[in-house]
Amino acid sequence: MIGWADIYKVVEAMAPLYVALGLGYGSVKWWHKLNAEHCDAINRLNYFFVLPFFTFDFISQVNPYKMNYLFICGDFIAKAIIGFVLTLWANFYSKGNFSWSITSFSFCSLTNALVMGIPVLHAMSPQVGVDLVIQSLAIQFLIWSIIIQFMMELRNAKNEIMACDDANQDLEGHNNATFSGTKTPSLGSVMKVVWTKLSRNPNFYACFLGIMWSLIADRWHFGLPNIVKECISIMSKAGSGIGMFTIGVFVAMQQKILAGGTGLHGNVLRAAILQAALPPGIASFVLAKEYGVHPEIVSAVVIIGILVSLPIMIAYYAISELTH
């Protein structure tokens, strides 16, 4: 049975995140130390330097030979169905939107189980439940974060090529009203841009090196030297703090604390409550901010999701105990 001590452990894990969030918010709103350019720089630091070390550190510690592949297969099928439905919606529904498909898929795939799921499961279920969450997180970094980054690069590449085509048509003296938005870039040209950018992305190399090291180290039972571990650890531990600090800076620069057009009574709040049982991870905002895919919505969902998820999880556990 979950007790107050178990709840305190979860709150203990969450509190530092909101300290970082408050510092980021205050640095803009109250102390006027940072601006939009600083926010972009901090997020790029997190995306290109901290997140790769965190990804490698986490994946390299998971033993691939002891994973529950039936569970992973079920998780993969569930995410694949969600991705398929969102693809159909984006391509065949009149109100479908590729950007919103990416954002929705990131909400479903990049969860905050590292902060919320593991502490709660330590209190609610046996060690096997915690192990499954850790394995799910490894797949999240190894597969789903890569797919989301690929989709974001694909979106940006299409937009860049179409913008260049429109600019060239203007320079050649053609009627922009006739041609703009009618020409779709070829798949080859888009993929060339995407792969060029992905080849420069350190997060992809971190995933590959992490799983390769895990396969080798767990096969022959040896580990990284302590000096290497500490070099990786000093960067990887900064990920959550910098991510929440960046969210705080970003939120402070919005007209509303939770931007989304309709405020606390609109779609942002409803989306946050629906996602609260498994709140989106901080990495969702890092990616959304880096690629410019609805960062204001993602920041609101991450903040509310972490706050609301704990009581929802406890209520779910209490109901399951009563019905058991």
DSSP string, 198-216: HTT-HHHHHHHHHHHHHHH
Give the model's pLDDT for residue 119.
60
What residues pair up with 111 in beta bridges, in sequence order? Answer: 280
Give the model's pLDDT for residue 261.
43
Reading the block at residue 252, the tokens are: 């402070």
Give the model's pLDDT for residue 191.
84
Matching residue, tokens 């888009």: 190
How long, in residues, is the chain? Answer: 324
Give the model's pLDDT for residue 196.
86
Q: 262-281 pLDDT, tens per residue?
A: 444 444 444 444 444 455 67
pLDDT tier at 184, thresholds 50, 70, 90: low
Mean pLDDT (the chain, rounded): 79
Give the model's pLDDT for residue 94.
79
Give the model's pLDDT for residue 268.
43
More confident residue, 291 or 187: 291
> Are 112 and 306 within 8 A, CB to CB?
yes
pLDDT at 231 over 90: yes
Give the model's pLDDT for residue 27.
93
More confident residue, 115 or 211: 211
- 78-100 mean pLDDT: 88
- Exposed / middle / buried, residue 184 (Cβ in 10 Å: 0-12, 13-18, 19+): exposed
Q: Distance (Å, rounded) from C-alpha 192 to C-alpha 148? A: 18
pLDDT tier at 130, thresholds 50, 70, 90: low
- 81-107 mean pLDDT: 88
Give the model's pLDDT for residue 98.
87
Q: Distance (Å, rounded) from C-alpha 147 to C-alpha 303? A: 24
Residue 64: closest CA among 226, 209, 213:
213
> Are 304 and 258 within 8 A, CB to CB?
yes
Half-sphere exposure of 37 (CA within 13 A, CB side): 1
Give the model's pLDDT for residue 226.
93
As for how many domains the chain has, the answer is: 1
More confident residue, 110 or 215: 215
Half-sphere exposure of 90 (CA within 13 A, CB side): 17
More confident residue, 157 or 269: 157
Domain that holds residue 74: 4-323
Q: 10-65 pLDDT, tens per residue?
A: 677 778 888 998 999 999 999 999 888 888 889 899 899 998 998 899 889 889 99
> Are 282 and 244 within 8 A, CB to CB?
yes
CA distances (Å), origin 316, targets 157, 271, 308, 322: 43, 19, 13, 10
Q: Count other C-beta atoms under 10 Å from residue 65's C-beta.
A: 8
- Exposed / middle / buried, residue 254 (Cβ in 10 Å: 0-12, 13-18, 19+): middle
- 68-83 mean pLDDT: 88
Residue 219: closest CA among 56, 64, 61, 58:
64
CA distances (Å), origin 62, targets 65, 107, 293: 9, 23, 31
Q: Distance (Å, rounded) from C-alpha 313 to C-alpha 310? A: 5
pLDDT at 120 over 80: no
End-to-end CA distance of the chain: 12
pLDDT at 211 over 90: yes
Give the model's pLDDT for residue 22.
92
